[in-house]
Structure 1
């Protein structure tokens, strides 16, 4: 099993605009406390994160987004659409092609596409005729995640505070533009060296750190240190400010360091080869 030298967690954002207050990056070594990685300016842009990724070496990098869309439930991402892709990498390429001239890796032009829009719930009461019922379609891992104390949302839902669809679609554009320069588990095999990207839930890291369900968002130095200690990490260096994006990233990096050495998390029993190429998996759920 691969043993990484560094561990990073990226709290991602799909919000509109060039620079994102909702993006935070934290990194830790094999020993010591995680620390923030600071952008050149006040906030990260998605393009700057893309550039930062290409500079990383022996690192396991966890992103809080869905790297794909539901496929297994209907045998397709977009049933009834002739351009529905056969696998995740083709999905990333489709999203990037349709939204390709939208700045800041935005994906609004994709969800507004006449065929794609039929599958999404959008603002203004616009629910596509193929969105389905209830909260929307789920990937296999999302349908099973409740047993692990997390509450995933459908990536086809773009409305509400808990929606993850916008972040996931912008992430797909980024993953496509990485163009296999960094392997993405489980779509790619884990190489013997170099960086690897995995999808994670920061809420799962919070549960592992002893943060009660419903109180996952930590905004104080003391609460953060208690959570880090539960993950075997020493206290963090004091920061000028605390918000849930920063603390999610710091806790996520410390959790990823511990979780990465668990062989079972790299070989989930329910992860078939078909799922590995179409829907992917959330690292940490076995």
Structure 2
């Protein structure tokens, strides 16, 4: 039996520099078919961390989807940073290393990690700076990212690529730093088992929610009509009124509606390719069966 949650949250995340980020938004759903609502505030990464800790203290019956990758690729090369003796042995050690290297970086930023002399060799950075160990093509992928691409669920990108509008590397690295700071107060699936009570975090990919809603012509929703069309794909006829229909707010709202439905699917909690070893090393994107 899978656990049934009472409420569902989607956090659209950001890896940009600075304290307050327009790219960070939070939406809450009270269940399938219910109109999600946006928590209107100027979010920072630290504010999200504090919000999660408050829900941990309250033992809120809340499933939280966050739009970032919770680990880097490991399985394809036998290490996150192959050839480097200090390469972490698992995802939690990776989170710890990112936070330690970036101890002086404000606002949970990760510039020091990206610019580290050895680590930077694995990343493609701005200014045409591509590390000699970045690899061919668009970079390395986790197993779940390869399955996501092969199954045409969404165009997953490599976290080692930090360049371009579609890059997710910066947000993922700041997200991993945040998970370390969270210190296990909220379990993170599949690194942790699903708890009997209290909140739980899962990694999500908002494009999956848009595609499964049946949106055509891309996943972006920049006006009320398109948001209504997306929510209608989940049986929701009333859309919230927003002061501004930006990608981040609408992504969070639609994905909260998707998560409320998807959480009831047994197959999404037990992907056949997900083993205990993979869970500890690379994690998984909830929504990829």
TM-score, normalization: structure 1?
A: 0.97
Distance in 2 of aligned mates of 1:53 and 1:37: 14
2:209 corresponds to: 205
2:10 corresponds to: 9
Q: Which runs of 5+ in 1 are unaligned?
A: none
Given that residues 148 and 204 in structure 1 are in contact (C-alpha distance below 8 angstroms), is that contact kept between their aligned partners in structure 2? Answer: no
2:130 corresponds to: 127
How many equivalent residue pairs? 282
2:236 corresponds to: 233
Given that residues 121 and 130 in structure 2 are in contact (C-alpha distance below 8 angstroms), is that contact kept between their aligned partners in structure 1? Answer: yes
Q: Which runs of 5+ in 2 are unaligned?
A: none
1:255 corresponds to: 258
Q: 1:69 aligns with which of 69, 72, 75?
A: 72
1:216 aligns with 2:219: yes
1:18 corresponds to: 19
Distance in 2 of aligned mates of 1:72 and 1:149: 21
Distance in 1 of aligned mates of 2:236 and 2:191: 30
Distance in 2 of aligned mates of 1:103 and 1:66: 21
2:278 corresponds to: 275
2:28 corresponds to: 27
Q: How does 1:104-253 map to 2 (within 5 A)?
A: 104-146=107-149, 147-212=151-216, 214-253=217-256
* CA deviations over 1:254-286 (Å, ceiling 9, x no partner): 000000000000000000111100001100010
Distance in 1 of aligned mates of 2:122 and 2:240: 45
Deviation at 1:58, TM superposition (A): 0.9
2:48 corresponds to: 49
Runs of 4 or more consecutive aligned structure 1 residues displaced over 2 Å after TM superposition: none
Distance in 2 of aligned mates of 1:240 and 1:110: 36
Given that residues 31 and 261 in structure 2 are in contact (C-alpha distance below 8 angstroms), is that contact kept between their aligned partners in structure 1? Answer: no
Deviation at 1:144, TM superposition (A): 1.2
Deviation at 1:149, TM superposition (A): 3.1
Distance in 2 of aligned mates of 1:89 and 1:38: 32
Distance in 2 of aligned mates of 1:7 and 1:124: 39
Distance in 2 of aligned mates of 1:275 and 1:5: 29
Deviation at 1:165, TM superposition (A): 0.4
Given that residues 215 and 229 in structure 2 are in contact (C-alpha distance below 8 angstroms), is that contact kept between their aligned partners in structure 1? Answer: no
Q: Superposition RMSD on alpha carbons, in Å?
A: 1.0
Deviation at 1:238, TM superposition (A): 1.2
Deviation at 1:243, TM superposition (A): 0.7
Deviation at 1:221, TM superposition (A): 1.2
Given that residues 153 and 288 in structure 2 are in contact (C-alpha distance below 8 angstroms), is that contact kept between their aligned partners in structure 1? Answer: no
Deviation at 1:210, TM superposition (A): 0.8
